[in-house]
Amino acid sequence: MMNNIPNSIKSVSPKRLPEYMTAQQQKALDKLEKFDAETPDIHMEQYREKYRHTPVEKFFTEDDTVGKTSHGTENEHPNFSEIDAVKIFMINGVYAGRDQIVSDDGYIYGSLATAAFAMPEIVQKYYNQISDESDKIALTNTAFAHNGLFVTMESGTIPRKPLLIIDITDTDITEQERNLFVFAKACIANVIIYTTSSTDVATFTNNLSEIAVEQDAQVNIVRIHNRDSLSRHFASDCCRQYAGSSLELTNIIVNGGLARQNTEVHLSEKRCNSNLYGLVTAAGSQHIDNYTFIDHAAPECQSNELYKYILNDKALNIFNGRILVRPDAQKTLAFQSNKNILLSAEAKIHTKPQLEIYADDVKCSHGTTTGQLNEEALFYMQARGINKKTAEIMIMTGFANEILKKINNPQLEDYIRTEILKKF
Amino acid sequence: MIKITDLHAGIGSKEILKGINLEIKAGEVHAIMGPNGSGKSTLASIITGNSKFDITGGSIEFEENDLLEMSPEDRANAGIFLSFQYPVEIPGVAMSSFMKAAFNEKRKYNKLAPIDSASFLKIMREKAALVGMDLSLLHRPVNEGFSGGEKKRNEIFQMAMLEPKLAILDETDSGLDIDALRIVSEGVNKLKSKDNALIVITHYQRLLDYIVPDFVHVLYDGRIVKSAGRELAPELEEKGYDWLKH
């Protein structure tokens, strides 16, 4: 199945890590061991609520309800060789390149372990500073992840190409991948992260990426999750933005058995701009859970969030979007929207927008809609001679397009659109 | 072309059409007038194939086919067109892709190969010019953010593209200002021929000054209570419907 991945790529064994990292790992392990006993009741309640529909335990045990039906045919991959990008392969959570730091088109990257020694001043400054210490899954990753990817850029860098990270899992051994992205001042970056798996292996992954967007940087990240229905996947993107920066983070879940994606953005300094987009297409008994948290901690920031779901069969899906506007975050603009189409009577969506506002001079809104395919639109198209099935596909594609067009690559966009339509 | 015989229809137990008889021949223009709620739009919807309505009796024959047995898409491809009173917005679907899909479905129905993009664009430009439609609308999602006038003009543009045999204009004049009304009517008149027919549903004589009917029918409480020549329209304008109710 992995026929378009270079042969030279092989996984490398875990590296030793510097003391400043192992100390953090030990600290996380200690916290994890005492988590149930020492977490105050009120926090424990919040934590349970955060994982209400997808209890963490579900990830660590075999669950009979998950992924027993495989959807689509063979897991195919887009033809990566045709995509003009700086490419990085991650195999089973491990950087599949040489043991050195590479610089290509402005992107500076290597394995996190390599970077920990080669560029300690950056890694030490950001490593485990954004990740959520009150989250069991994040702590587990910090405690056990040995390696992953490190990407940075120098101030003011404007690469010509996007960075394409192809993250392949083809083993049933638990994978804990830890990534660190540091986008320096005023750089402009386009990153595409494509996670996939082989068809016949029940993969289990717990990935965590810390993403720092420094002053005036403009970062666009598109995450595409396209794994087999046997996969169980947990991922956290923990982002921190500094003054005047913009971040657009698009999270497209094409396929997966069980997937929980945490997307957390901390707007720490003035005038940050943050756009979060999401698209989920789920069928069979797929269980997809998105938790987003936008933390408005500084004044004059703007956030905008749009998540869309198309659900079929017995898919059970969750959108839990929390926006916190802290007392100092005056002049905040925060908008959130969640729109869902249910194609079957048994598909389910739990949607929970949460807006907590502690500042008085702000503009915030949230809204959610859930419905079936628009019957009036269907009839309108049929009345123009378009057959019902084609009309349905056109309406669904139209619904998905708003998010799909965020993929800054036409080949990949077309590929994903085709993959999505295969499901319905 | 179309022959409606003793048509009864409604929604659930509510009867809306109570025995409609109407025959239209190629080359004719029929106006259907009548007060709100008399069943004009229901009749248009049923001819087009909207499954919202239950047919409880009667028949519709279209070019010797049993129309009521045909799917909405087959009816459209066989040559029936409805200019919707309330055109529907379709988010994310560009006008041009929508129109191309419809255009090619009709070609497929007539056993023709799909049209190439260059020829299709050329036809779209010609037809847009015919109804005075702004070309930029073709790149926007279907009817989304269109003004009331643009939506109606878009309906007539689609009619021009699909060249139906029987077109039904359901209150196409509402929402159009006087200049737009003239342009749209001129478009419709250019599309008229001895081979196609037109049903114009309207409240006002104004539209009928531009699209001149051969026959005028008054629909009241689910029945056609009066049929006459074009001279009936101004008479209705003057006297209202009350004198026909008994």
Query: Nearest C-alpha of chain A: how many angstroms from B110?
Result: 12
Q: Give the pLDDT confidence score for residue B10 in this predicted structure.
A: 94
- Distance CA(A239)–CA(A235), nearest Å, equals 13
Instruction: Nearest by CB to A383, from B72, B92, B97: name it.
Output: B72
Residues spanned by the domain of A60: 19-422
- The residue with greater pLDDT, B73 or A38, is B73
Reply yes or no on whether the pLDDT at A323 is more than 50: yes
Instruction: Nearest by CB to A387, from B82, B88, B105: name it.
Output: B105
Reply yes or no on whether the pLDDT at A410 is more than 60: yes
Minimum Cα–Cα distance from A403: chain B residue: B92
Mean pLDDT of A399-421: 92
Confirm or reject contact between B93 and chain A (CB < 8 A): yes
* Residue A230 identity: L
A50 inside domain: yes
Q: Would you list the DSSP string of B143-190? A: TTT--HHHHHHHHHHHHHHH--SEEEEESTTTT--HHHHHHHHHHHHH
Q: Give the pLDDT confidence score for residue A405 in this predicted structure.
A: 93
Query: Nearest C-alpha of chain B: how many angstroms from A248?
Result: 21
User: Does the distance separating the beta carbons of A384 and B158 come in below 8 Å?
Assistant: yes
User: Does the distance separating the beta carbons of A387 and B73 come in below 8 Å?
Assistant: yes
Pairing mode of beta strands A232-241, A204-213: parallel
Q: Would you list the DSSP string of B204-242? A: -HHHHHHS--SEEEEEETTEEEEEE-TTHHHHHHHH-SG
Instruction: Nearest by CB to A384, from B50, B51, B102: name it.
Output: B102
Mean pLDDT of B33-60: 94
Query: Nearest C-alpha of chain A: how many angstroms from B75?
Result: 7
Q: Give the pLDDT confidence score for residue A75 in this predicted structure.
A: 54
- The residue with greater pLDDT, B178 or A249, is A249
Query: Maximum Cα–Cα distance for chain B, whole Å?
Result: 58
Percent of chain B with pLDDT over 90: 80
Query: Nearest C-alpha of chain A: how many angstroms from B123?
Result: 17
* Two tokens, residue A83: 């995509």
Percent of chain A with pLDDT over 70: 91
Confirm or reject contact between B73 and chain A (CB < 8 A): yes
Q: What value does the mean pLDDT of chain B take? A: 93
- Distance CA(B215)–CA(A218), nearest Å, equals 66
Interface test with B, best of A306, A384, A394 (most B CBs within 10 A): A384
Confirm or reject contact between B48 and chain A (CB < 8 A): yes
Q: What is the DSSP secondary structure assignment for residue A147, as one 8-state letter?
A: B
Residues 6+ apart with CB under 8 A from A364: A323, A325, A332, A333, A334, A335, A355, A357
A10 inside domain: no
User: Does the distance separating the beta carbons of A400 and B92 come in below 8 Å?
Assistant: yes
Interface A-B, measured as beta-carbon pairs within 8 A, has a size of 80
Mean pLDDT of A363-384: 95
* Secondary structure class of A71 (helix, strand, coil): coil
Sheet strands (E) in A98-227: 102-104, 107-111, 149-153, 163-169, 175-183, 188-197, 204-213, 218-226
Q: For residue A337, which phi and psi values (nearest 5 degrees)?
A: -145, 140
A8 inside domain: no
User: Does the distance separating the beta carbons of B93 and A385 come in below 8 Å?
Assistant: no
User: Does the distance separating the beta carbons of A382 and B98 come in below 8 Å?
Assistant: no
Reply yes or no on whether the pLDDT at A3 is more than 70: no
CA dihedral A321, A326, A330, A335 (to 10 degrees): 0
Confirm or reject contact between B88 and chain A (CB < 8 A): yes
Q: Give the pLDDT confidence score for residue B179 in this predicted structure.
A: 85
A12 inside domain: no
Query: Maximum Cα–Cα distance for chain A, whole Å?
Result: 69
Reply yes or no on whether the pLDDT at B134 is more than 70: yes
User: Does the distance separating the beta carbons of A394 and B93 come in below 8 Å?
Assistant: yes
Query: Which A residues in the span 225-254 are in contact with B, Cβ-Cβ below 8 Å?
Result: none
Interface test with B, best of A382, A396, A417, A421 (most B CBs within 10 A): A382
Q: Give the pLDDT confidence score for residue B205 in this predicted structure.
A: 86
Reply yes or no on whether the pLDDT at A28 is more than 50: yes
Confirm or reject contact between A384 and chain B (CB < 8 A): yes
**Is ipTM strictly over 0.90?**
yes
User: Does the distance separating the beta carbons of A379 and B73 come in below 8 Å?
Assistant: no
Q: Is B59 exposed, middle or buried (0-12, 13-18, 19+ CB in 10 A)?
A: middle
* Two tokens, residue B220: 């009241």
- For residues A366 and A375, the answer to whether their CB atoms sit within 8 Å is no
- Distance CA(A381)–CA(B50), nearest Å, equals 12
A301 inside domain: yes
Q: Give the pLDDT confidence score for residue A148 in this predicted structure.
A: 94
User: Does the distance separating the beta carbons of B73 and A385 come in below 8 Å?
Assistant: yes
Q: Is A62 exposed, middle or buried (0-12, 13-18, 19+ CB in 10 A)?
A: exposed
* Residue B29 identity: V
Mean pLDDT of A17-27: 93
Number of domains in chain A: 1
Minimum Cα–Cα distance from A388: chain B residue: B73
Mean pLDDT of B28-36: 93
| pLDDT per position as a tens digit, A261-296 | 999 999 999 999 999 999 999 999 999 999 999 999
pLDDT range class, residue A303, cuts 50, 70, 90: very high
Confirm or reject contact between B175 and chain A (CB < 8 A): no
Q: Give the pLDDT confidence score for residue A59 in this predicted structure.
A: 59
Minimum Cα–Cα distance from B142: chain A residue: A377
- The residue with greater pLDDT, A382 or A197, is A382
- For residues B156 and B163, the answer to whether their CB atoms sit within 8 Å is no
Q: Give the pLDDT confidence score for residue B180 in this predicted structure.
A: 84
Q: Domains, chain B, ranges and CATH?
A: 2-244 (3.40.50.300)
| pLDDT per position as a tens digit, A53-85 | 888 766 565 443 343 334 444 456 788 888 999
| pLDDT per position as a tens digit, A183-239 | 999 999 999 999 998 767 788 899 999 999 999 999 999 999 999 888 889 999 999
CB < 8 Å to B92, chain A: 395, 397-402
User: Does the distance separating the beta carbons of B82 and A383 come in below 8 Å?
Assistant: yes
Interface test with B, best of A306, A376, A381 (most B CBs within 10 A): A381
Confirm or reject contact between B89 and chain A (CB < 8 A): yes
Instruction: Nearest by CB to B101, from A386, A400, A401: name it.
Output: A386
CB < 8 Å to A398, chain B: 90-93, 141
A4 inside domain: no
Minimum Cα–Cα distance from B141: chain A residue: A398
Q: Give the pLDDT confidence score for residue A46 in this predicted structure.
A: 87
